[in-house]
Amino acid sequence: MIRTRDLIVKRDFIKNYRFLRCYLLSLIVFCLTITVYAQSGRRIYRIKYISNENVYLDAGSEKGLAVGDKLAVVKNKKLAAELVIVYLAKHSASCKIEKKRSAISTGDQVVLIKQKQTEVSKPEQPSSSIQKESLRTTRTTPKRNVPQRKTKRAKTRISGSVSLQHYQLVDHSSMNLDFEQPTIRLRLRARHLWGKAYNLNIRSRSRYYTRSTSYRTIQREAWRNRIYEVSFDYSNEAALVNYKLGRIISNKFSGVGYIDGAQIQFNATDKLKTGIFAGTQPQWQYSSFQSSMEKYGGYLNYTNGDYGKNRIESTLAAAGEYHNGVVSREFLYLQNSFSGYSRWHFFHSMELDINRDWRKELTRKSVSLSSLYLSFRINLSRRISTTLSYDNRTNYYSYMTRSLADSLFDDAMRQGLRSNLSLKLSKSARLYANVGVRKKESDNAATVSYYCGFNKSNFLLRQMYLNVRISGFSNLYSKGFNPSIRLGKSFRYGHSLYLSYGNYMYALDISNEKRMNQWIR
């Protein structure tokens, strides 16, 4: 009995000894792992914000990052994307996506995988005899300057286009209404100026009109120049303040229109932004500068979600237009955008006029809805997509129209409904159709317009395309029909060459007169 007890105690001791040995080995391996990881110095960053073009991190130069460093986005222990830093701030970094394997979102982990310049290698440890000799001469040896890693700036990117067009109309009737119109268009965009988040945008158009016959109010020859945008901006979503100068228009509140002045935006968080704008309003007909019409206001923008996923963006803006201090228009502008991955998208905008002083006396309303637009697009399948949109507009009183008599001012509401259908036959072929109905409140009949067509890329040759299109309309006074065909070839660097033919046939219901114009471009 005693021997049995001794055997049991000995067996329990052996089990405890084995457990203790495994525990100590595990503890040693864990400590070694932690030590190696700590010595590696690898830090984990996170995505703070994602824009259309860049990804912003929550760390910058203070954490040892530099322009040109390469990083990896890790999701579920798998590589989701590879990033490279293009410009840098003290507490933030802006990156472009070099490779993307799966979707990324705010909050994802980011790890530094490669620095732009290799670190200075450590010298070999000298022998003990050399160390003793070095200690004797330490005071007389000059201090070695270790080269620091240079921060490389992002390259400036310049893109744009210049297009030339010549339009000519030859009238073979007895009226001899010949007409020529050469046009030149310029578009220039410079990004990352001086290696930072500075950008320059220029969009303009110049036309020269030549007519064989002059009219009372129309000159025989005239230049018409339009400057759509000349702006200089600093756009860095990770920075506290962004700004824009020049002739500007913002996608966040496009309904406010163009401004010759400045816009300042404060990025309160990665989702909430607010800003102000002030300047003068360009002349609406020829976009020339005018100092008599002032425009200023503010806006609030909220964005949540990433492109390609569930996303919402909403902007509320308040704007006022004043002619030498006299109110011309004051209104609120609301713009909303919702999207569900790549499946559907909804857009909404509206303008609400605030009437006071002379505007309230003419309209007899304190608030009036002057514009409403709704649009919904859905991809029914990979090949079929459709869009349905609705809009209504009403003319509003401004400083320029306040002296018009009530009988001359057209305040009737106009409503419109339009639908579009797109069918993708293959990777290079597509059919499309569009039909719309629009009616003025005071008209007895509505205006119907439509078009349909066929697109084929890589037609006969690579980068060659074919477009066949048919359009038409019908309203209270006339009917029209317009078939056309275009054959073109695209080249490198955005150049293209095309040849098109079409004709425009219409008939006036009152006189039953029919006409047809043909063109080759």
pLDDT value for 204 = 93
Which of 241-273 are b and which e, b meaning 16 or more Cβ less than 10 Å from the residue's Cβ? ebebbbbbbbebbebbebbbbbbebebeebeeb
Q: Which of 166-175, 468-477, 505-514 has the lowest mean pLDDT?
A: 166-175
Q: Which of 111-125, 351-365, 390-404, 443-457 has the lowest mean pLDDT?
A: 111-125
Greatest C-alpha distance within the chain = 135
pLDDT value for 25 = 54
Q: Are 350 and 373 in contact (CB under 8 A)?
A: yes
Q: Is the pLDDT of residue 128 over 70?
A: no
Q: Is the pLDDT of residue 190 over 90?
A: yes
Residue 267's contacts (CB-CB under 8 Å, 6 or more residues apart) are 237, 238, 239, 240, 241, 242, 273
pLDDT value for 178 = 85
Residue 52's contacts (CB-CB under 8 Å, 6 or more residues apart) are 307
Band (pLDDT 50/70/90 cuts) for residue 208 is very high
Q: Are 439 and 424 in contact (CB under 8 A)?
A: no
pLDDT value for 64 = 85
| Secondary structure string (H, E, C) spanning 287-324 | CCCCCCEEEEEEEEEEEEECCCCCEEEEEEEEEEEEEC
Band (pLDDT 50/70/90 cuts) for residue 24 is low
Q: Is the pLDDT of residue 297 over 90?
A: yes
Q: Could you report the per-residue pLDDT of 302-312, keeping only the tens digit for each?
A: 999 887 788 99
pLDDT value for 140 = 46
Q: Which of 73-82, 296-305, 463-472 has the lowest mean pLDDT?
A: 73-82
Overall pTM surpassing 0.85 (yes/no): no
Bridge partners of residue 508, in order along the sequence: 478
Which letter does DSSP use for residue 230 in this model? Answer: E
pLDDT value for 419 = 97
Domain chopping of the chain, boundaries: 1-41, 44-114, 412-521
Q: Which CATH architecture has domain 44-114?
A: Beta Barrel (2.40)
Bridge partners of residue 350, in order along the sequence: 334, 372
> 489 or 126: whose pLDDT is higher?
489
Q: Is the pLDDT of residue 41 over 60?
A: no
> 342 or 123: whose pLDDT is higher?
342
pLDDT value for 40 = 44
Report phi then psi at 86, rounded to 5: -105, -35
Percent of the chain whose pLDDT exceeds 90:
44
Distance CA(43)–CA(155), nearest Å, equals: 27
Q: Name the average pLDDT for the chain.
A: 83
Q: Is the pLDDT of residue 361 over 60?
A: yes
